[in-house]
Amino acid sequence: MPKTTPDLSHIAPALHKLAEPIDGLSLDPANVRLHPVRNLAAITASLRRFGQQRPIIADAKGIVIAGNGTMTAARELGWTHLAVTRTNLTGSDAAAYAIADNRTAELAEWDHDSLARQIAALNNYDPDAAQATGYTPDEIAHLIAQSNGETSVPDGAAGKAFDETCADDVKTITCPHCGEAVPV
């Protein structure tokens, strides 16, 4: 029976040589990073839109050291292969690297003004690309408002034109001391 070539169309061409069957890999049972529904949905949307652009990292036994969320999302997408870089790290070095891989990204900071401008530009040019960034429609609306110099956007205003009718959706309470209506 002829051997079939696996579908690697979801993997960046430069990474094809690193492609391995997912069924030969295992999630790290000691992984300390959780992947709640929203996180996995964002990873899945990113993989669906952009494909795999960087390899996951696994040890010699096939245990994923970095990329557990990516592998979980890839399985949900029905992928059979992922690009994998093998590491010789073991024991405490592998555990420390897994933590460092997540923690160092977490310690980075956003340039909020640039982020707001880029999300606004993406949303104008390619709304589907903006959605694949992991931001919800409401978060995108807030970022766009920020890029336009607005200080707030009503929750749920995503996708609505920002005119006076949006003000109808804003709930207010009246201050008992001064009588001013304030949005909540």
What residues does CATH 3.90.1530 cover in the chain? 13-106
Pull the structure tokens for residue 79: 């992928």
pLDDT at 153 over 70: no
Tell me the whole-structure pTM to 2 decimals. 0.79
Pull the structure tokens for residue 44: 């899945």
pLDDT tens by residue, 14-59: 999 999 999 999 999 999 999 999 999 999 999 999 999 999 999 9
pLDDT at 171 over 70: no
pLDDT tens by residue, 121-145: 998 999 999 989 999 999 999 988 8
Architecture of domain 13-106: Alpha-Beta Complex (3.90)
